[in-house]
Structures are given as C-alpha cells and as structure tokens.
Amino acid sequence: MQNGLRTVKSRTEPHVGVVITDIQKPRAVRAAVVAAASLAMASGALLAAGPSQAAAGAAAPAAKTIAGSHPAWATPAGDAGSVPAGTEITGTVYLAGQDPAGLTAYATAVSDPASASYGQFLSPAQYQARFGATSAQIHAVTAWATGAGLKVVGSTEHAITVRGTDAAITKAFGTAIHQYRVGGQLRHAPARDVTVPASVSSAILGVNGLSSAGTRARPDSIRVDDTPGAAAKGTLVQKSGGTLPTTATCSDYWGQKSTTAGPAGYSKGATPFDQCSFYPSQLRKAYGITASGLTGKGATIAIVDAYGSSTMLADADQYAVNHGDKAFRNGQYTEHVDPSQWRDQDLCGGPEGWAPEEALDVEMAHGLAPDAKVVYVGADSCNDDDLLSAITTIVDQHLADVVSNSWGEIMHTTDNLDVSASEIAAYEQVFKQAAAEGIGIGFSAGDCGDSSPLAAATGANCQPDTARAQANWPDSDPWVTSVGGTALGIDSKSGSYGFETDMGTLRSNLSADGTSWVPAVPAPFYFGGGGGTSEDFAQPAYQRGSVPDSLSHTLMTGAHSRAAKRVTPDVSMVGDLYTSVLVGISDGADYSEGGYGGTSVSSPEFAAVQADALQARHHAIGFANPLLYAHPGQLRDVVDENAAQHARTPLSSIVDFGVINGSLTARLVAFGQDTSLNAVRGYDNATGLGTPTLSYLTGGRR
C-alpha cells in the first residue's frame, strides 16, 4: 500500500493509504485581464470533423506570445532589476491538445438539446484519443524545455511543470525575470510577456507560474454566529418592559412566532422571528424532491474543496441519522485526500478552516439526493492550481456525473493581482472536457453581492481588495453553471414552499441597553448572493434571448458594452445566512450542529437536484446551462416583490439568541437587499432563471 492518500471505501473499513496519480501542482499567477471567451453553437458538420479535418489548410505555426504572462502589477515604477543570478523558478506549460477548436464545437453540440448530437458523450479514453495532447506534442514540449536547460518535474496529458535557473527561464521563454516592489514586498515576474517558439507554439495553451504572486480561492459560506439551531425553540416568555425573549427563539416555519417587543424595526407591526435552520427533509419537500420520489439513485456527485476532514464520514452519518435520514451505505461515500501533499496551510486556513465547508457540501449533497454516491476530492491547498488539479482528477477518471465547487474569488483586485489568461484557459479546457464527457460542473456565485468596494466595506464574506463591482470567478466562466442564493420561507407545519427572495441581507445588532438597533435601520449590506455582468467573458449562445440587453450590455461599473457579456448566476437555491441550513461537524472537537449560509449551501444543493434529475432521465445531463435556458418555465421565477407580498410585511426577521454571557443578544435582519442586484420577473442578476421545481426534476422523466 502506497503512502499518502486517505480513501474511505465504506463506513466500516479503516482509512487506508494509496496515491492519487496525475495530479498537477503548478503555482498559479495573477496577471492581466482575461481575453473574452464565447460559446458558439456548433453545426453537425463541424461536430463530425476530426482533428485532421480541422487542421487541414492551416498555416504553418509561428512563435506565440502568451498574452497576460507579464502581470499588470509588475510596473516600470516598481522594477528593481533582474532577480539574483541562479534564482530557481518553477513554471507550468499548459498543453493545447490536438484540436482545441474541435473540442469547443463538440462540447457545445453534445450539450445543446436542439442538436442532433445532444447527449453523445465521450469516455475519458475517447476524449484523450480525439482531443487530448498526443505523445508527440508532449515529447516536443519536453524536448524544447530541456534543451533550454530546464528540468521537467511533472508531466501529465494537460501540463508540463518545469524548473530551472533564471537564465534557463529566459532562454526558454524569451524574457528576463525581474523583481518588482509591490505593497512593500519584492515579487518576481517576467519583464514582458513570454514567448514560445514556432516549433511548439501549436502544442502550448498557456504558461503560468513564472511569477511569485499566486491566486487563492476562499469558501463561500459562513456560520450563523451563536445560532439557536433546530433544537433551540424557546417560548415567547418576555422580560418586563417589553423586551425580547431571554431564551433562544426561532420558528418552525415563516411567521409561526413573532413579536412587537424590542426596538422599532422595518415593520410597523409584529416582526417574525427567524426560522430555525433547515435540515434536508424540509428542503426536499420545499423544492419538490419529496413529491418526485427521486433520490439520486444511479448518480454520483463530486465535491471539491481544499484539504480534508478526518471525521467527514462519521459526521455525515451522524447528521443524517439525527434528522431522520439514512447514513451512507457501504461504499456510497469515498474520499480522495492526500495529507502528505498538503501545502500553504497557514495561508489557506488549513484543514480546520475548510472542514465546515466540506461538511456542509457533503451533508447537503447526501441530504437532497440520499441514494446518490458522493465522492470528496480534496485539493492540496486553496491555490487555484491545486483546485484545478482536483477537478482534473474527477474529469480524467470520470469519477462523477456532477461536480459541486463551493469556492471562488474576484477577478480584479486593487493591486492588479488578477486571474491570468493562461489560468483561465487551463480551467476552461477542463470544463470543456467535462462537457464532452457528460459531466456537469457547478460553482457557487459568492456571498458579496456585486462585490463592489461598497459591499466589501460592510460585507461578512467579501474580499476587501476588490477593485470594482464585478462578477466572481470561476462561476462566471460560460462553461460552468453559476449557482446563486435565495432566502426561503416555508409555510405551515406541512413544510410546503412559501416564498423566496434574493439572498441579500442587512443586519443590525441589539444595543447593550436593549433600546435600539445598531446600525440604525436601514442597516448597510451584510451578506448576499453573487451575480452580475462579467467584463471578461462574452455572452454564451445559450443566454441569448433570455438575458435582457440591459444586463448583458451594461457592466457592473455602469459602463456600456457594445458586445453582449456573460451574466451570472444561472440558477439559485436557498443559501441566505438567516434562512440557514444545519450542518453537523466534529473534526477534532465534539460533534455539534450549527446554522450555515452562503452560496456554498446552494451549490451542493443544486448538484443534488441534478443527481435527482439524472435519475429521472436515466442518462447523463452533462453541462446543464443550454438545457436550463431552453426550458426556463421548469424553474420557479424568484421575484422580490412577490416575496414581500406573500409575507404581507416588509421582509425582515429577528434572530434571538437569548441571554449570552449575561446579555440579551439579538439581530434584526432585512431580506431581499442584494446590493445592486435585484430579483425581477424573468432572468435577473440576483437569482438567474430561478429555483428548481417538481416540473424541472421530472421534466425529462422516461
């Protein structure tokens, strides 16, 4: 048995070690603005064309300049000259494969329900034979790199990792490596965009890692602090003077309990207490899963996060049993985690920092598709290159039918540490491969609304270095499903669907003397689902006719774009911090449950819905966006106005934690306030096309 990987094969077997092969671990780089990408729908003739036909008549290759490989933060003003002689640098050369244009056409056609080729997916072996890098390409790139004095330290069908001195890097890539003063630190980067010679230019997709600045993703979830949870359902006993209850209080359904006590808030009359954190059976009923009879049987869901919890299986089993569901059966849950390869734990928060995200993702996937298999693939860090490696492992081995990613980042920062063009290209190649193989990939849309500096100033899960309002990444890539969030209200003890509004909350705290809300009403933005118009990606064909021109031609800054752009999210599900879900976790401590919110909740929920829908269809769905936009009527249109009318009062609630450390602790929360994003009739940039329904789940039933 080889060392490293912890793989859980069943609930009863101990953790055993094996090694995951073919995981690429290059360092990611933030560089200049990404070139626009688009999805052109392919014709049947184009789909039928093989690599030799696509290449016919092509001009002889020329030397290639890798746009954006000289990062924007490496300015002449900060140039401190060449790195010390002999400095060793590691870089990654991404391979283009045999037929990049043919891959785009094929992935588009098999994902389009209007195409005669819809659903004609490839196996990984068929993909590699038709579109993957050939042994000749790998040999040519390897020979070029070693001929320049570089050492190959890693090689897969997707990328070759090289290492060498600055002199060898300069010889290979045609540019010196300089040091630059950035934010009081010295960083190194190419002095200009790198070039690769004509002999290998057609084999190379991009070059990354020659800079010392890297990109790091973050989870899209946070815990409801001091949440009462489902078990804490206090009575409405009040202190004298009309104050709020002194015991933690929450409602089983929207409006079950309310109060006129406490300081004045958003409502003139009584304000409802928040709903107790949801558990899976409630969500299954609200979204029509229970009525459908679907359980995800026959489907496999993959979860990608960083690192891995040593107690994930035990926690998930305990959580399921606690809430009336079945634990994972023998062999239903597996892990691919290699602790011996973990790195950058201090920068990324380590396994402890990512454990709640992992628990949330696994438990929601299992909870909404209880018979689906779940495979957890833990990246070796939160660096973009390691997360890409985890996704690549899933796709290369076809480990799952649908993949949930509850992490992301902004693309444009105040110090120009932007996501590089080569990095985007490498991710997108794997996304297209997944589409060609019938694997759907989803990403959470983020928790900072429009990610503007104004939102980041008060938001609970924002990146403070955001340069401007923007759509997040990777969910804004046109080849993935962007999953946004909503706030959900359920009706009565039956648990039926009540209403939804966009995931955007304003939050105030009860003052120490209990007489006012701080900040005063209306409070500033606190937490909200991501979305908006991407300045980096062109509008994909599937959004034409569905996304209003007012969105696709208007950037988040308000500037007009002549060309239509990609808009996110595509769909949404509940994720609001104050209509939270319960999550069970131990990971080094006693098992406990608490409420969590974020589009990190929404992403695995939607992955589970896809598993349920796959069961109904008896075949893979693959890249879902063309199907979703072709049948918008199968989704529930979320409109903020409708939600407010249903609740019959301004949408707000009181989160009462009772007395904590001698003080009454409470929050006043307003819903449906997602920065500049709004849920309106039809497609919108807060909730996309809407949320799943029974009709969507069973629409393709056979």
Q: Judge whether residue 306 has pLDDT over 90.
A: yes
d(CA 587, CA 362): 14
At residue 440, the pLDDT reads 99
**Cβ–Cβ contacts within 10 Å for residue 326, how many?**
12
* Torsions phi, psi for 205 (to 5 deg): -85, -40
Residue 245 is classified by DSSP as B
Question: What is the reported pLDDT for 645?
Answer: 79
Look at residue 241 in the predicted model and tell me its pLDDT: 35
pLDDT at residue 665 above 70? yes
Is 523 a residue whose pLDDT tops 80?
A: yes
Strand runs labelled E in 569-612:
571-574, 581-585, 592-597
Tokens of 469: 């309002």
Q: Are 585 and 591 in contact (CB under 8 A)?
A: yes
Is 0.95 surpassed by the pTM of this model?
no
Q: How many other C-beta atoms are found inside a 10 Å radius of the C-beta of residue 483?
A: 34
Report the C-alpha gap between 144 and 319 in whole angstroms: 54
Task: Answer whether the bond into residue 519 is a cis peptide, omega within 30°.
Answer: yes
pLDDT, mean over the chain:
89
The percentage of residues in the chain with a pLDDT greater than 70, rounded to a whole number, is: 88
Q: What pLDDT score does 223 carry?
A: 82
Q: Which domains does the chain have, with CATH numbers?
A: 27-216 (no CATH), 272-698 (3.40.50.200)
Least confident of 544-553, 604-613, 654-663, 670-679: 654-663
DSSP assignment string, 257-299: SEES-SS--S-SS-EEBPBPPB-HHHHHHHTTHHHHT---TT-
Cβ–Cβ under 8 Å, residues 403 and 210? no
**Which residues touch 240 (CB under 8 Å, ≥6 apart)?**
none
Adjacent-strand bridge partners of 334: 375
User: How many other C-beta atoms lie within 10 A of the C-beta of residue 563?
Assistant: 10
Res. 9: pLDDT tops 60? no
Tens digit of each residue's pLDDT (9 = 90 or more) over 199-238? 999 999 999 999 987 666 777 777 876 433 333 333 333 3
The one-letter amino acid code at 274 reads: D
Give the count of beta carbons closer than 10 Å to the beta carbon of residue 175: 20
Strand runs labelled E in 373-470: 373-379, 402-405, 407-408, 440-444
Q: Which of 431, 381, 342, 385 is nearest to 154 (CA)?
A: 385
Please state whether beta strands 402-405 and 407-408 pair in parallel, antiparallel, or not at all (unpaired).
unpaired
Sheet holding 222-223, edge to edge: 222-223, 592-597, 581-585
| pLDDT band of 168, cuts 50, 70, 90 | very high
Highest mean pLDDT among 20-29, 183-192, 263-272, 393-402: 393-402
Q: Are 126 and 190 in contact (CB under 8 A)?
A: no
pLDDT in tens, 52-72: 333 444 455 679 999 999 999
Which carries the bigger pLDDT value, residue 339 or residue 29?
339
Task: Reply yes or no: is the peptide bond before residue 263 cis, omega within 30 of 0.
Answer: no
Our CA angle for 377, 378, 380, nearest 5°, is 140
Write out the two tokens for 28: 């990611």
Is the pLDDT score of 697 beyond 60? yes
CA distance 674 to 523: 12
Is residue 26 scored above 70 in pLDDT?
A: no
Unique residue bearing structure tokens 């209403």: 499
Residue 99 contacts residue 54 (beta carbons within 8 Å):
yes
Compute the distance between CA of residue 341 and CA of residue 630 in angstroms, rounded to an integer.
43
